[in-house]
Structure 1
Amino acid sequence: MPDTLNLHKFEHLSPFQIKDELIKLAQKEAHKSTLPYLNAGRGNPNWIATKAREAFFLLGQFAMTEAQRHRNEPQVGLAGTPQGPGSYGRLKAYCATSQGQSGPPGADTLAAMVDFAVQKFGFTPDDFVLELTDGIVGDHYPMPDRCLEHNEIIVHEYLMWAMCAGHRPDTKFDIYAVEGGTAAMCYIFKALKNQRLLNAGDTIALGTPIFTPYLEMPELEDYALNVVDVSSEEEDNFQLTDADLEQLADPKVKALFLVNPGNPSAVAMSPEVLARLVEFVKTRRPDLIILTDDVYGTFVPNFQSVMGHLPENTIGVYSYSKYFGCTGWRLGTILVAENNIFDKMIAEAPAEVKAKVEARYTTLTPDPSSFKFIDRIVADSRDVALNHTAGLSLPQQVMMTLFSLVEMMDEDKSYQAFCQGILEHRFTELVEGMGIEVPENPLFDRYYGILDFEFWLRKYVGEEVVGWIKENVHPLDISFKLAQDHGIVLLNGSGFDAPNWSARVSFANLDDSAYRQIGRAVRAVAIGYVQAYRASKGLSLHG
């Protein structure tokens, strides 16, 4: 354990708070030595998707010409607003004049994606272009507030590929465009509470290990939920077992929250386990609420989301952040199937509960009983009273539209394959640096990884060493030793309800060469523990 730190004082902190101390230690070590400072503690990718961005910035310039057609006061910097009639033809002409080596990038992409959308979805060309130009200048509140009309159709089709490529459901989802996956979490927790679908003292199940906020939010006074861990272990290839599912049979368990593929396990639910979950819910728990956060699904070929198999029970969450390298854009979605158990539960609630809940929305509709669950999420996200200004900003929705269209136009999925290749190469570098062998797993997205010291030391050294470490080494020592001795930041696995003697590594945010160095440092820390064990037993350090 690092000599100058009392690690016990960090035990109850979120790993995202502990990282601040780790960063200080790692930067200090890198400064005083020749070691590079390597922060693999965050999942922000170090790449961006360029085609949609190029089209976005060119579209912005075109939209300004559209606004200036209506009114133009250049001496004071004032213009009108974009108008619809004839806008499609003007956009095509604008792109044609912008094409060529001397023109700005994005003209070919912008023209192609507009035609693609018009042909694929049967849009009226001028109406679609007006949504793009009016949206990108951001001169109106979102209308509809939940999601722009054309954007919802486009995003729906993209998400059916991104989340349900392996099993597309025969149903339509309503979509709420929100400020990233984190906003989606906040809004969903709030709405479930406000609809009395989850109440203080109720029990939910978490598929652990899991993204830390899912562990922390239920404990807040705002929600005061009891939690059952449905834990997927490395020994089970991070898959739920029959015993895990059996915990959900208790009717006290109102909901199951999942991150799929996992964060930090990075493993998607297998088709076999998914089939067992579907059978279990349909035959034994048709009332089970499921939230599935599928942010990393695009890094697994033919990914199958739970929402594709159990649309009636599931609230889906997806963020564009990681796949397109756009965490700063804050682009996320909440999905709820048109036919769902949430509306049925609300309708079948006791009269006293229904009266209290419906009273929230009397200023929004003359018939609150018909107000859909997805629209209640929208209203609750703005505390109802500010519902008239709800919705994701229009420039953000336009960016969402363009990301979706570019991906749908990529028939060969070249972008997806290249992103997956980046992560696979970095993962290989780390594994070779550690000097271990990891079996191939087609369900592993390689965005994150759990470095489970207990698992690997048990496999390569033996149970006795593991027992000694668990008695003599503080679980946080792994992350702190990597920072203090090697200038490397990895978050503690325990903060994600992963094994205590583990750390999470992100394969997304550092150059390829860094991961072999991280692997060697992890190996050095593990060897140090083994040597300390041998010294404590009076054994040769090289025996």
Structure 2
Amino acid sequence: MRYKKRKYFLAGRINLIQRSKIRELFEKARKMKNVISLGIGEPDFDTPEVIKEAAKRAIDEGYTHYTPNAGIPEFREAIAEYYRSHYRIDVSSDDIIVTAGAYEATYLAFQTLLEAGDDVIIPDPAFVCYAEDAKIAEAGIIRLPLREENDFQINPDELLEAITKRTRVLVVNYPNNPTGAVLTKETVRAIADIAEDYNLYILSDEPYEHFLYEGAKHYPMIKYAPDNTILANSFSKTFAMTGWRLGFTIAPKQVIRDMIKLHAYVIGNVTSFVQIAGITALRDRRSWEAVKRMRHTYAERRKVVLKYLEEMPHLTPFRPKGAFYVWAKIDPELDMSSEDFANWLLENARVVVIPGTAFGKAGEGWVRISYATKRGQLIEAMERMKEALSGL
């Protein structure tokens, strides 16, 4: 008996999300020789040895099984200890869930808080995952422009104007990716007050909290709006643990309970021995000494990039006070879009930078330059860019 060949269709929701322009540029660069990438947002350092040794010991000690969905209790307590000691914030381990990086934290938060027809306010420019996660949650997206004249901070007055009766969530990401901006304490307090007044949740994504320059300080949103904040954080940047996929979320009890419920069906639990390594990362002074060295190195690289850019034609840098990126403005007289400029630089200087439009429409006219790259390569890339741009 013959059967008719059936057609198979993908779920429509998969067509809502777009492929990252960052990855598209990397794939193009991968086919070319002698390319230096200043694009990827990943520390070039190895994970501190003390953390790696802790993971190895954990495997030998039998941490190879399931853990509680929310995470190993001792690890969650270590996270709570960190916020109590570092920021003087009283956090309960019961309000913490261990996630597969901050990526999963964002997904869980949006799926838990948003329904079809709800609105989420997302800054523009902003990291790429927020808008795509919002689409999967079938939420409306309101983009809030971050302006150079305001040092790329959220403007509380513009935030008030953006709020609708359907607004449920506001995304905050500082130190900021891609601009490197930080929030003043006054702005943090203003945002917190608005969230409380309008009954909004704030998804505050804070993975760059330890990479600050020129005396800048980080003010965790949860300190100022504890009942409204879902704090997402990650070990990826702080401890150079991107491949470990280790993060966490702190949220009000009613939110964390439902996030755990969803997390249980998404991945069950984060890898057991990775969580044990996370305890060492937070509690061992040697891991924090490594963070201090990384911060010092980033600060030196930042100086190098800013010095070159300030002397380079056709690019004007914004001075970042956080993260490990420089947000640079393209000379309007070049009459090039951000994507055209990034592609031109790749072809003519063999250097990868990320077009600002990868982070939203307000990123047009800008590029993101990562200095999470060895000093020698960084200088070589700057020289190439300077030579290529001088010929325009």
Query: Would you say same fold, with TM above 0.5?
Result: yes
**Structure 2 counterpart of 1:328, from 243, 252, 266:** 243
User: What SS is found at the alignment partner of 1:429?
Assistant: helix
Match of 2:271 in 1: 393
Q: Could you list the per-position Cα deviations for residues 114-172 of structure 1 after superposition, in whole angstroms to 9, with x for gaps in the alignment?
A: xxxxxxxxxxxxxxxxxxxx43xx1x3213x21212111112222445xxx4x533453
Using the alignment, how far apart are the partners of 1:255 and 1:474 within structure 2? 31
Per-residue deviation, 1:381: 2.4
Q: Distance in 2 between matches of 1:154 and 1:447?
A: 26
Assess, with a 3 A threshold, how the Cα gap between structure 1 residues 56 and 203 changes in structure 2: closer, same or farther.
closer
Runs of 4+ in structure 1 deviating by more than 6 angstroms, as ranges, are 437-441
Deviation at 1:290, TM superposition (A): 0.8
Contact 1:260–1:293 (CA<8 Å) still a contact in 2? Answer: yes
Is this contact kept in 2: 1:146–1:375, CA < 8 A? no
The count of residues paired between Structure 1 and Structure 2 equals 366
Q: Could you list the per-position Cα deviations for residues 15-50 of structure 1 after superposition, in whole angstroms to 9, with x for gaps in the alignment?
A: 23322343146x33x2xxxxxx21121122111222
Corresponding residue number in structure 2 for 1:243: 157
Structure 1 counterpart of 2:321: 444
Confirm or deny that 1:206 pairs with 2:138: no
1:83-108, CA deviations, whole angstroms, 9 ceiling, x for partnerless residues?
xxxxxxxxxxxxxxxxxxxxxxxxxx
- What is the match of residue 519 of structure 1? 382
CA contact (8 A) 2:83 2:89 kept: no
Matched, 1:186 2:107: yes
* 1:478 maps onto 2:341 in alignment: yes
What one-letter code is carried by the residue in structure 1 that aligns with 2:106? Answer: M
Following superposition of structure 1 onto structure 2, how do residues 408-487 of structure 1 map, counting pairs within 5 Å?
414-436=289-311, 444-453=321-330, 457=331, 466=332, 468-470=333-335, 473-487=336-350
Q: Larger helix proportion, structure 1 or 2?
A: 1
Measured in 2, the distance between the counterparts of 1:445 and 1:382 equals 34
Given candidates 205, 215, 222, the residue that maps to 1:307 is 222
Matches within 5 A, 1:39-188: 39-47=37-45, 48-58=47-57, 60-61=59-60, 63=61, 134-135=62-63, 138=64, 140-143=65-68, 145-160=69-84, 165=86, 167-172=87-92, 174-188=95-109
Instruction: Report deviation, 1:416.
Output: 3.3
Residue ranges of structure 1 left out of the alignment (5+ in a row):
1-11, 31-36, 64-133, 193-197, 344-372, 458-465, 532-543
Contact persistence 1:431–1:519 (CA under 8 A): no
Aligned residue for 1:502? 366
Q: Quote the Cα distance in structure 2 between the aligned partners of 1:152 and 1:290.
A: 21
Percent identity (aligned): 20
Look up the match of 1:14.
20
Residues 208 and 147 of structure 1: CA distance in aligned 2, closer, same or farther (over 3 Å): same
Task: Give the whole-Å Cα distance in 2 for the aligned partners of 1:21 and 1:519.
Answer: 22
Asked if the contact 2:195–2:202 (Cα under 8 Å) also holds between the matched residues in 1, the reply is: no
Q: 1:330 to 1:446 in 2, by over 3 A?
A: closer
Write the distance in 2 (CA, Å) between the matches of 1:58 and 1:278.
Answer: 42
Q: By how many angstroms is 1:519 displaced?
A: 2.9
| Cα separation, partners in 2 of 1:325 and 1:314, compared to 1, 3 Å | same
Residues 319, 241 of structure 1: alpha-carbon distance in 2 compared, 3 angstrom cutoff: same
Change (3 A) 1:485 1:270: same
Q: Secondary structure at the match of 1:299?
A: coil
Q: Given residue 496 of structure 1, which amino acid in structure 2 is its aligned partner?
A: F
Higher Rg: 1
Name 1:289's counterpart in structure 2: 201
Q: Which moved more, 1:415-424 or 1:484-493?
A: 415-424
1:119 equivalent in structure 2: none
The 2-side partners of 1:213 and 1:382 are apart by 21
Q: In structure 1, give the amino acid aligned to 2:37.
A: N
> Partners in 2 of 1:332 and 1:312 — Cα distance?
21
Provide the alpha-carbon RMSD of the alignment. Answer: 2.7
